[in-house]
Amino acid sequence: MSGVRAVCFDLDGTLLRDDHVDDVVREAADEAASRFGLGTRFVDDAVHALHAYWFGVGESPLLSTVPTDGLPVDVWRAVLAAHGITEPDAATAAYRRQIQLEARAARLHDESLEVLVAARQRGLRTAVITNGPSELQRGKLATVGLDGFDAVIVSGEVGHRKPEPEIFALALAALRVDAGEAVHVGDNQIADVAGARAAGLTAVWINRNGAAAASDPHHTVTDLRELLPLL
């Protein structure tokens, strides 16, 4: 690629590991179970439903009542309701606890820092474009000590989420580069790959788990280090 001036990174599953999420949900669900006198079946249902919601892997009949644009708190509400808990603040409390625990549990992938440093040493501008609530995504960045980005665009702050082109346009404006001068790397084939492509950026799919391709990335890598020779 020539003429690259900026690299945008997705956060979850790209710069950060995302294999701790089930444990975080289990801990938040355990606390809700204690509060409402629920058993392990509730905890298992919560872990299963939120895993299916985030990763699109596995099926949870409880998700049938959650709209496709539903939020994690809606998943908590559905799981709690299925176990007879309809108190108005129950889902919000469980979700808020999950956010707290999740922000604290954030961990970088091994190569993330090295790749960010290398990109910056080459004079490239760097950004994060991430879907999620402000408190959670900013909390994760603070936990892992990631800073120095030229732009951090969080869907919960800007009112647009990937794959919407507006969120990529906001990042490009903050970076002061054109779409043709920017690369976006992410693990989600819809939000990151299709979104970046539609917005005119070079789309790099990071496929850490050998998933089947269901999108049309310009490049595919299995580790962020493979990004560097492409820049």
Chain residues binding Mg ion by CB under 5 A are: 10, 12-13, 187-188
Provide, rounded to whole angstroms, the least separation between the CB of residue 81 and Mg ion: 28
Provide, rounded to whole angstroms, the least separation between the CB of residue 12 and Mg ion: 4
CA 154, CA 160: separation in Å to the nearest integer? 9
Decide: residue 215, CB within 10 A, 0-12 exposed, 13-18 middle, 19+ buried.
middle
Q: Cα torsion at 45, 51, 52, 56 (round to 10°)? A: 180
Q: Given the complex with Mg ion, which of 12 and 45 has the nearer CB atom?
A: 12
Q: Given the complex with Mg ion, which of 56 and 180 has the nearer CB atom?
A: 56
Provide, rounded to whole angstroms, the least separation between the CB of residue 57 and Mg ion: 14
Q: Given the complex with Mg ion, which of 98 and 130 has the nearer CB atom?
A: 130
Which residue has its beta carbon closest to Mg ion? Answer: 13
- Do the Cβ atoms of 203 and 188 come closer than 8 Å? no
Q: Given the complex with Mg ion, which of 62 and 129 has the nearer CB atom?
A: 129
Provide, rounded to whole angstroms, the least separation between the CB of residue 58 and Mg ion: 18
Per the DSSP assignment, residues forming a β-bridge with 203 are: 184
Provide, rounded to whole angstroms, the least separation between the CB of residue 107 and Mg ion: 14
User: What are the CA-CA distances from residue 181 to residues 2, 4, 193 (Å)?
Assistant: 8, 5, 16
- Do the Cβ atoms of 153 and 184 come closer than 8 Å? no
Q: Given the complex with Mg ion, which of 124 and 191 has the nearer CB atom?
A: 191
